[in-house]
Structure 1
């Protein structure tokens, strides 16, 4: 595998994410377009306490994976974080990059949250998240998986 780096996307540069947004749309996923729209209109800029947006970049500075962390807007508890807008470019899947990125997000989340939740509607993502240590359960509204943080 080529060398990669994980960086905070602060601020989000739209040129950096254009290729993965387009790829995700071709796969039928709309959530990265929502990420850009929400960022542009100020609805979600990943700037509240504990929040962050991470990108995985190749040595050529190509964004190949993205994932965010928010205070869960559905839990009514500021100690519950939500993994959001997670995507790995199709040609870089099954190389461990997704796990690497989730682990970076979890490490950041442990500094601010006691629990991490997410929502997914694909069986592949369910298997992926359970392999990392998430449990499948709807503990809070609009969530399918959770992880207690230490």
Structure 2
């Protein structure tokens, strides 16, 4: 199976219902928050440096989603926050998450000096470390940081 990463300009034009349903069953509400925040305009990934991507399979179905915002936890506009990152269980360990994260990182390097993220999942911890993030829980809202330069 081949996968393609696409930028999402308008979330309403992309079918992510399967991601919403599966993430809810797994106990994660952040994909639902992505939809709600896009609908109410509170987060549409439209500030400088911000972007939202999806990964589609050969059939055109969305199998992963994620983006970067200016960190709401920093006073500095050059600190990025990985947001709403989710990959369907059926395609985990097939490189989808890595492909998505690499696309986000390549974009983020042009705008941010570092990317932060918070996770409480051991699998996500291992994933982020394998992708070059350092474990750093010195701030309550962060568990991993990727610094550029």
* TM-score normalised per structure 1: 0.95
What residue number does 2:91 align with? 92
* Aligned counterparts of 1:18 and 1:48: Cα–Cα separation in 2: 25
Flag structure 1 segments of 5+ consecutive residues without an equivalent.
Answer: none
What residue number does 2:23 align with? 24
Taking a change above 3 Å as real, the CA distance of residues 12 and 52 of structure 1, as seen in their structure-2 partners, is same
After superposition, what is the alpha-carbon deviation per residue over 1:43-83, rounded to whole angstroms, capped at 9, x for unaligned?
10000000000000012110000011000000111000011
Q: Is the 8 A contact 1:74 1:142 kept in 2?
A: yes
CA RMSD of aligned residues (A): 1.2
What residue number does 1:66 align with? 65
Where does structure 1 differ by over 4 angstroms across 4 or more consecutive aligned residues?
none
* Aligned counterparts of 2:72 and 2:139: Cα–Cα separation in 1: 10
After superposition, what is the alpha-carbon deviation per residue over 1:88-129, rounded to whole angstroms, capped at 9, x for unaligned?
001000111101110110000001001110011111100110
* TM-score normalised per structure 2: 0.96
Q: Is the 8 A contact 1:65 1:86 kept in 2?
A: yes
Question: 1:141 Cα shift?
Answer: 4.8
Flag structure 2 segments of 5+ consecutive residues without an equivalent.
Answer: none
Total equivalences in the alignment: 149
